[in-house]
Each structure stands twice: as C-alpha cells, then as structure tokens.
Amino acid sequence: MAPRICALCEQSRAMLKRPKTGQQICKDCFFYVFETEVHNTITESKLFKVGDRVAIGASGGKDSTVLAYVMKTLNERYNYGLDLFLLSIDEGITGYRDDSLETVKRNQQQYDMPLKILSYDELYGWTMDAIVSQVGRKNNCTFCGVFRRQALDRGAAMLNVDHIVTGHNADDIAETVLMNIMRGDIARLGRCTSICTQGEDTIRRSKPFKYAYEKEIVMYAYFKKLDYFSTECIYSPDAYRGHARVFLKDLEAARPSAIIDIIHSGEAFEIRDEVKATQKVQQTCQRCGYMSSNTLCKACTLLEGLERGMVDAGITDKGRKKLDAEGPSRESLRTISFYKPPSGNPTITVETSS
C-alpha cells in the first residue's frame, strides 16, 4: 500500500493523525499548525505587548515544558519582544516535585531563560509533605491549589513581571466548565473560560494553550523530543476533577470536537446581573496584604487552621465560623505578613543559565 500523504502540504509522508481534526499529516505540518494556533490565540486575545516581562509557570511537566518551548519559538519567530522567565513553585513533595524541578533546571539551560524557584516552605513555613501528614489526603489539593496561586503571584512580583502564563490546556478548561456546571457554580462558570485574568497588583495571568488539546501537547513534546517529567503527584489528585476528566475523555473518544465545543458553550453563557452581584467585593487581606474577598485571604485562613489544628477552617463555612468564634491566634504573626507587592523596579535575584 502506498504511504499516506500529508493532508496539508500534500508532499511529505503523513506520520500522525491529528487528535483535534483527525487529519493525517506530517511532523513538520503538525509543528507548524500547533504553533500557529497558539500564536493566533495570543494575537487575537492581545495577550502581550512589546517589552512585557513574562513569567512562565514551570513545573517540569509536559504542558509547561511545551509552553516554554513554544513561547520561546514564537517570541523569536514573530518578534513579540518579550522577556521570558521560568517561575517554579516547590510545594515540598518528596519524590515528586524535587525530581520535576531537576527537569526545570535542565529546561533553564536548554531554553536559556532565567529561573526563579519559590517554595511553600519559605513562603508559608509548611511543605505539602507536612500538610498531608496533618490533614491527610482528603483536602490536600485545596491547600496546594490556594498556596500555589498565591506563590505564583508572589514569585511574579519578585521577578517584577507584567504577566504570568500557565500551561492550562483545552482539556483542563473544558473539565472546569463541566465541574462548575455539575456544582451549579454559575458565577465561576462565567469566569472560567476567560483566557486572561488579573492577578495580584496588576500582574495579568493567562493561558495561551486555552484551545490546545492535551493529546496534541503530548504529541508535540514527543516528536520534538522535549525533556519533561511525566510522573503524577504522589498525593491523590482532586477526585471530583477526576470524574470530570473521565467523562470528558469518553466524550472526546466519541467526538473529538467535544472539548472545544464545551469551551465555546462556557464562553457563550451569559451570567445574569443578580448572579454577578453575589460575587464579593475585592479587598486586601488584613494579615498579608494579598487580594481577598474577606478580611483574611484564603491562604492565611488555611494557615491559621493548620497552626491551630483546625484544618476545616479554610475548607468549610462551619470550620471558618468556628475559627472566627475562637478569635485571633497568638501565633498569627508567624504567617506570611512579610509579603509586600513591589514598587518601582526592585532588584531581583534569579538563577541564570551559565
């Protein structure tokens, strides 16, 4: 049988079937269409302007490794004029994050980008290993997710960047749409498909892989022979998201466009003003100065609960009320009050490639 010819260039031999479209194409055409779609996402959403300093949230996993590689490629190809940095958060998970950070350090050399690593231990005085030993494996991802979000903002502020980009892909966003529908969280549903959100102190946060399929990211990493870390976290992943993921994979198997269709459906929802009005007014945390919709931000509430052995304080309303009823902790000063958003152009120290 004659080899199948690439459906795009109609010259080279087709090497793969594109998960998003089902087209049989060659490797070079796959690289080109994948990169061009990300470029189109970036330009159509006007994510960056010339001179922006952009931190790439880098875990060493496939998504962020491909993101760093593609951002570097597009920045050079299309003269975006960006200063790119790698920003890694060390959650303190022995046997997982310590190994994946070694991959990020190699990526730093391979892509010639400055790298900043910030740990939960230095920011919060707790590692995820210590948190799991206290709270068990049920709500560990809640702690981890809240702490990571703040840690990224803090690392970005230390790097004095304008923008953080993360490797969230189309599958992640479609899963989040499904989860918000299943929870009936309409206010979040209205926000979760936004490509760009505002982080702390005007640092924007965006997802250039919003329309990139996970399978294509894996394929890209594989054919480009990128150096990434593929082991799952040793602590159980978010069980509820796991159900949404399985459901989405079933839908994708039946109809590959399901992922994009779900994202478009999420984008098309119009949220009524009454629902928007239930969103709390933004203020700053009285303890650490981070943006918050309560007097204490979520991370400070979780830390307070950890310090006082009331692990439900930041998880359930009942736990929070119990914490409030007991009054402020004498130990509260050992939390994260050192944080100050930068003013002017602070001197930063980053690990640079030699």
Nearest-approach distance from CB 97 to ligand SF4, in angstroms:
7
Token couple for 63: 């998504």
Binding-site members for ATP are 57-59, 63, 89, 167, 172
Nearest-approach distance from CB 124 to ligand SF4, in angstroms:
13
Binding-site members are 57-59, 63, 89, 167, 172
Nearby residues of 122 by Cβ (< 8 Å), 6 or more positions away: none
Segment near ligand SF4 (CB under 6 A); pick from 48-56, 82-90, 136-144, 296-304: 136-144
Give the footprint of ligand SF4 on residues 235-264 (CB under 6 A).
235, 237
The binder of ligand SF4 chosen from 118, 233, 297, 311 (CB under 6 A): 233
Token couple for 220: 């890209």
The binder of ligand SF4 chosen from 63, 90, 91, 171 (CB under 6 A): 91
Q: Which is nearer to ligand SF4, 51 or 237 (CB)?
A: 237
140 binds ligand SF4 (CB under 6 A): yes
Q: Which is nearer to ligand SF4, 126 or 211 (CB)?
A: 126
> Do the Cβ atoms of 69 and 224 come closer than 8 Å?
yes
Amino acid at 192: C
How many residues touch ligand SF4 under the rule CB under 6 A: the total is: 9
Distance of CA 315 to the CA centre of its chain: 21
Cβ neighbour number for residue 29 with a 10 Å cutoff = 21
> Do the Cβ atoms of 226 and 31 come closer than 8 Å?
no
Distance of CA 89 to the CA centre of its chain: 11
Got the DSSP string for 15-56? -EE-TTT--EE-HHHHHHHHHHHHHHHHHHTT---TT-EEEE
Q: Which is nearer to ligand SF4, 246 or 275 (CB)?
A: 246
Segment near ligand SF4 (CB under 6 A); pick from 43-51, 113-121, 206-214, 231-239: 231-239
Segment near ligand SF4 (CB under 6 A); pick from 41-49, 71-79, 112-120, 137-145: 137-145
Q: Which is nearer to ligand SF4, 129 or 162 (CB)?
A: 129
Nearest-approach distance from CB 137 to ligand SF4, in angstroms:
9
Segment near ligand SF4 (CB under 6 A); pick from 18-26, 48-56, 65-73, 139-147: 139-147
Nearest-approach distance from CB 168 to ligand SF4, in angstroms:
13
> Do the Cβ atoms of 95 and 125 come closer than 8 Å?
no
141 binds ligand SF4 (CB under 6 A): yes
> Do the Cβ atoms of 55 and 104 come closer than 8 Å?
no
Nearest-approach distance from CB 75 to ligand SF4, in angstroms:
28
The binder of ligand SF4 chosen from 51, 81, 95, 145 (CB under 6 A): 145
Distance CA 217, CA 195 (A): 18
What are the start-end ranges of the H helices in the chain?
Answer: 27-44, 62-77, 97-111, 120-124, 128-135, 140-159, 170-183, 186-191, 214-223, 239-254, 258-268, 273-277, 298-307, 317-326
The residues of the shown chain that bind ligand SF4, judged by CB under 6 A, are 91, 128, 140-141, 144-145, 233, 235, 237
